[in-house]
């Protein structure tokens, strides 16, 4: 079985400050990990993914994520947050050995960037 | 949202009526998915299809049905058996197989049943 936890329902940050959104996962084998962002009443937009190799993954809009196998984490980061980054962020996981391409999503973290 | 369309954006129905949500993609993806999103909750998988004329139940399939007659289309029917159908419904597609393929999402349909 595969699962994802996003321990924070909401993260508040001042514009220009670093932003971190936490994600931990559980899979029986090795993971594929994804981050998505959702703006109000919209679908999810893909930000970045971890496959293998470099533990620091760079994605869209200045976001990056750090894979940590020992801590089973994949935290999303942005060095300097913008007000326009305010949205709902989802982490998702898939076990490499799992059949098909079923993703398991976390419950989401709402990010509020204040000017 | 490019490449996947969902219609309508908002849908209102009376309790006891079946309703069908449309999902079309032009990304040439083999796999398609339906998710349900409730306020304050993550996405829950309803049904998915890896190839035309084949589909599997997800985690919350009860009260829903799907068909996959064409590669481009994966309509979802919310039946009167679904006890709490009011939700935001998201369709997604991806390359099929065991690779690290991200899913691409449509803009969603917000269904309200009264």
B30-61 confidence digits (pLDDT tens): 999 999 999 877 899 999 999 999 999 999 99
CB contact under 8 A, A41 and B110: yes
* Contact flag A107-B107 (C-beta cutoff 8 Å): no
Task: Decide the pairing of beta strands B4-7 and B54-57.
Answer: unpaired
Locate B87 and state its tokens: 């939700």
CA B98 to the chain's CA centroid: 21
Q: Is B97 on the interface with A (CB under 8 A)?
A: yes
* Percent of the residues in chain B that have a pLDDT greater than 70, as a whole number: 97
| Residue B47 in tokens | 């049904």
Show the 3-state SS of chain A.
CCEEECCCCEEEEECCCCEEECCEEECCCCEEEEEEEECCCCCEEEEEEECCCCCEEECHHHCEEEEECCCCEEEEEECCCCHHHCEEEEEEEEECCCCCCCCEECCCEEEEEEC
A110: contact with B, CB 8 A cutoff: no
Q: How far is CA B91 from the centre of its chain?
A: 4
Q: Does the CB of A73 have a partner CB in chain B at under 8 Å?
A: no
SS3 B15: coil
Whole-angstrom Cα distance, residue A79 to residue A65? 11
Tell which residue, A44, A45, A52, has the closest CA to residue A96: A52
Residues B9-30, mean pLDDT to the nearest whole number: 94
- Pick the residue with more confidence: A111 or B83? A111
Name every chain A residue with its beta carbon within 8 A of the beta carbon of B106.
43
| pLDDT exceeds 60 at position B2 | no
């Amino acid at each position: 079985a595969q699962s994802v936890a996003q321990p924070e329902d909401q993260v508040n940050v001042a514009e220009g400050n670093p932003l971190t959104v936490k994600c931990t996962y559980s899979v029986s084998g090795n993971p594929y990990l994804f981050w998505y962002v959702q703006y109000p009443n919209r679908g999810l937009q893909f930000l970045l993914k971890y496959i293998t190799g470099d533990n620091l993954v760079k994605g869209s809009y200045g976001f990056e994520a750090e894979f940590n196998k020992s801590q089973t984490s994949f935290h999303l980061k942005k060095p300097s947050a913008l007000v326009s980054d305010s949205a709902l962020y989802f982490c998702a996981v898939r076990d490499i050995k799992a059949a098909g391409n079923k993703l398991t999503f976390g419950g989401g973290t709402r990010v509020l960037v204040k000017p | 949202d490019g490449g996947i369309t969902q219609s309508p954006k908002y849908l209102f129905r009376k309790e006891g009526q079946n309703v069908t949500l449309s999902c079309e993609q032009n990304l040439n993806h083999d796999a398609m998915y339906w998710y349900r999103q409730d306020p304050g909750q993550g996405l829950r998988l309803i049904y998915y299809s890896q190839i035309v004329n084949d589909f599997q139940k997800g985690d919350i399939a009860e009260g829903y049905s799907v068909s996959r007659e064409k590669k481009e289309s994966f309509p979802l029917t919310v039946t009167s058996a679904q006890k709490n159908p009011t939700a935001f419904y998201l369709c997604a597609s991806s390359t099929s197989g065991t690779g690290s393929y991200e899913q691409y999402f449509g803009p969603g349909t917000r269904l309200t049943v009264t």
